[in-house]
Amino acid sequence: QVQLVESGGGLVQAGGSLRLSCTASGFIFERYTIGWIRQSPGKEREGVSCIGTEMNSEYYSDSVKGRFRISRDNGKNTVYLEMNSLKPEDTAVYYCAAGTVAPYRVSTFDLREYDYWGQGTQVTVSS
């Protein structure tokens, strides 16, 4: 049974930091690209960051570039999203998702290519 479980969300003041974790089971983790997607009420889903199966295969949206850092630990079947200098506009439910994305398409971050999704974790940034 495929499972993706997010954790690490919470309430933080603007300028603060959080680290989200996404732990997977039920599939061969190291063969999958893992992405973080967020959604806030009334807004469309936004692909925030993803990490592919090859070295230095990462993508960041312009809205988080320079503030967020993604990493993966294949031995723990876990992907992390380190979020720094948080802003109120980062407030959203953050989901992780897994897909068998071709390496050259990682930077495209097409959400249609992600087959498995977690339930999400809430991140709230107060001003």
Q: What is the DSSP string of the chain?
A: --EEEEE--EEEETT--EEEEEEEESS-GGGSEEEEEEE-TTS--EEEEEE-SSTT-EEE-TTTTTTEEEEEEGGGTEEEEEE-S--GGG-EEEEEEEE---GGGGGG--GGG--EE---EEEEEE-
Mean pLDDT (whole number) for 14-23:
98
Q: In angstroms, rounded to a whole number, what is the distance separating the alpha carbons of residues 124 and 83?
A: 12
- State pLDDT tens for residues 84-120: 999 999 999 999 999 999 989 999 999 999 999 999 9
Q: What is the pLDDT of residue 61?
A: 96
Mean pLDDT (whole number) for 3-21:
98
- State pLDDT tens for residues 33-69: 999 999 999 999 999 999 999 887 999 999 999 999 9
- Confidence label for 123 from pLDDT (cuts 50, 70 and 90): very high
Mean pLDDT (whole number) for 9-37:
97
Q: What is the pLDDT of residue 36?
A: 98
Q: What is the pLDDT of residue 55?
A: 82
Q: What is the pLDDT of residue 56?
A: 74
Do the beta carbons of residue 99 and residue 66 sit within 8 Å?
Answer: no
Chain centroid to CA 110: 13
List Cα–Cα distances, 116 to 47, 48, 84, in angstroms: 15, 16, 26
